[in-house]
Each structure stands twice: as C-alpha cells, then as structure tokens.
Amino acid sequence: MTMASLTNTSLLIFSCLLAVSLSVSGRPATFLEDFSVTWSDSHIRQIDGGRAIQLVLDQSSGCGFASTRQYLFGRVSMKIKLIPGDSAGTVTAFYMNSDTDTIRDELDFEFLGNRTGQPYTVQTNIYAHGKGDREQRVNLWFDPAADFHTYTIMWNHHHIVFYVDEVPIRVYKNNEARNIPYPKMQPMGVYSTLWEADDWATRGGLEKIDWSKAPFLAYYKDFDIEGCPVPGPANCATNAGNWWEGTAYQALNAMEARRYRWVRMNHMIYDYCTDKSRYPVTPLECMAGI
C-alpha cells in the first residue's frame, strides 16, 4: 500500500470516528456542562469544582436538577451516596422523563428513606405511552449511605435495564409485537430530586420524617450520559451501530441473569406483577421474561 493510500485510509477512519463522536453524547466532565438546577438552587451545592454535588432537604425546601438536553436511547448513570442515619419519609430520585403532560414516558429510580438500622429500599417504575403503575421494590443488600454506588439505566430498542453497580435489578423487554407499550418515540431528559414524601415513602407512610435530623444530605458524582441527544443528528436513534444496540446489550448475559435472579429471590419485597389486589389478571409484560 502506498503512503498516499495509507493517508487516505487514515483520513477515512478519522472521519468515521468523528461522525460517531458528533452523533453520540459522551461523559460530561462537570455538573454544569450537562445539567442545570430546576428547583431551589440554594439547596444544591457544587463540590470539587462541579465534579460532585450535594443535595439538601430541610423544612424549607427540597431540590432538584435536570439535564439541559433530552436523549433517545443510550445509557445514563450516576454515582450516588444516599442520606445516612434516620432518613424516613425522604425520597431521593434519579429518573428519565419525556416531560410530556398527556402521553408520558418515564424510567424511575426512587430511593425510599428508612429508620436507622433498617434496609434502604429502591423503587423502580416504568411509564410507557402514558401508562405507569409498574412499581417494583428491592431492599438494597448494602448500606448505600456509607459510600458511593453506581445506578444505571440502559435503554435500547430491545429492553430497559436498571442496574445497581453491575447488578441488574429490573428488566423491561420490548414486546410491542404483543401490543405491550414500549418507550421509543419520545426523547427523555435526566432528572434528580430530593424531597419529603412521608405520606407514603417509608412503610407506606407509617414512619414520618423527623425534622430534628435535618438537613438531609445526598451526594452525586461521575455523571455519565451516553446517548442520542435531541435535538441532534436525525439518524442517531435508529443507528444500529450505536454501541448500546450491540449484540452484547440486547439481553442479559449469563452472569447478569444469575445476579438478576439472585436479587429477585433474596431482596425483592414488592412486585406489581404479583399484586392480585391491583391486578387480578397478570399484566402481559410480566410474562415476558428477560
């Protein structure tokens, strides 16, 4: 191969890589690059030059932030250290939302506060085409207030997976062929909030918030969004070459499947799929498997 051919080949490869980098959003370096405060900026404090933030809940207010862009498919993750000690009645949420009033799509992590010494519960929920009420609850098998842990939402054309560190705790398959709604048309923003919800959050509202323990503090860092930004290149979301659409991400691998079953057998405390008082007929998506 001649030097000219090598140069042309190198330029072609560079052009392809550049095209991919422009169509897919990568990891933001600081909070201010990809997020903005949406609620009570006095209760969100930047740490380490914006690479981490502290969320504050007291009797005057909670707080929240959101991504400055929306995304259609991809992977979103954050490292979070939850409220230590007596956090009953508080909710720390990390979720994606289409921000549409009537036909909402939403993917939720909600961390439900606890009394000191009790396990932290994470509730997940999925809204697709405006229909939600798909709650599942898992007791975390570690203390999420002692250190940072990674919480991830993977969303592609094949399934949605919620991960705690590397452990999948929930899978929602794309079964549109069986007339089961699946979020794929509306881009979603990335949100987080810290708020008081003692009418339902801890033991169904039996445990109330103890304001003498305020302020309640949660910490976030390592914000990671890899997906198709909207507005952005029109063909990004349908590009089968996006890494999150690859074969390795179309279903759980063997190790992930074992971890998923372990969570469901040992740590799941509520599943709408088995709640006959709410759903006498099992919802179709509950029989789809992983």
Q: Is the dihedral of CA 35, 39, 41, 46 positive or negative?
A: negative
Q: What residues are annotated to the active site?
A: 106, 110
Phi, psi of 286 (to 5 degrees): -70, -15
DSSP-derived secondary structure for 161-181? EEEETTEEEEEEE--GGGT--
DSSP-derived secondary structure for 190-253? EEEEEEE-TTTTTGGGTSPP-GGGPPEEEEEEEEEEEEEEESS-TTSTT-TTSGGGSGGGSS--
